[in-house]
Amino acid sequence: MSMTTNRIAEIGMMVGDPARASILAALMDGRALTAGELAMVAGVTAQTASGHLSRLTQNGLLAVEKQGRHRYFRLAGPDIARMLEGIMQIASSEAPAKTRKLSTGPRDASMRRARTCYDHFAGKLGVAIATRLVDLGYVEFESESGIVTEAGMQALTGMGISLAAQASKKKGARPVCRPCLDWSERVPHVAGHLGAVICRHYFDQGYVRRLNNSRALEITPPGQQALRRMFNIPAL
């Protein structure tokens, strides 16, 4: 028990520092960034950022990749992104005053409309896709897990979205799909391999593109057509 509580305290210290929190939030879109880029995001010197990155890496929150003389930092995995998304949900919640409307999630309209949550879609876009997948019988969700039905596998393959190479039965392997509570919409979007494959497919096809190097996304005209064709989702 003491080892578990000590570990929780260590993680809390890592996330609790404003500069480290800024670094982690900047990596929530799934990209890998350099120490210089993360120093700029966090508003600290390169030397200070280096210390933060070292501690975050040592504590298992970040992974580092070396390419030539450059080192790129990214979140260590989807579990870290899931933890951060949960913290963001708590941090954005406000106790409603008697005359004040409760607001959840990001204030930026583009972030609420469509964004990435690590390697899958979130916001109205992610929730709309998840809702249609369930309504069509392609996906079945339970509290913390989900399955892609046989009909879903066939339909997704027909859309050019293949899960064949993604499924794994290894112990500890990432689930094929699972619900992920959306920060702004407060209902689930699709995470796991399915969420990642759909997201990658949309980027590859030019259906979405990033806005100003942020998590926010623009749904392109071909993307709006694809949403209507693939999932019967009206314009978002």
Query: In this structure, are residues 104 and 184 in contact, taking their beta carbons and an 8 Å threshold?
Result: yes
Instruction: Please determine, for residue 132, whether its predicted confidence score (pLDDT) is greater than 50.
Output: yes
pLDDT digits (tens, 9 = 90+) for 33-59: 899 999 999 999 999 999 999 999 999
- Look at strands 188-191 and 178-181 and give their pairing: antiparallel
Residue ranges of E strands in 42-177 = 62-67, 70-75, 115-117, 120-122, 139-141, 146-148
- Supply the Cα-derived Rg of the chain in whole angstroms: 19
Instruction: Please determine, for residue 1, whether its predicted confidence score (pLDDT) is greater than 70.
Output: no
Task: Say what angle helices 2-16 and 18-26 make with each other, to 10 degrees.
Answer: 80
Buried b (16+ CB within 10 A) or exposed e, 121-132: bbbbbbbbbbbb
2-76: CATH number: 1.10.10.10
Could you state, in order of their start, the residue ranges of all structural domains in the chain? 2-76, 107-231
What is the model's pTM?
Answer: 0.70
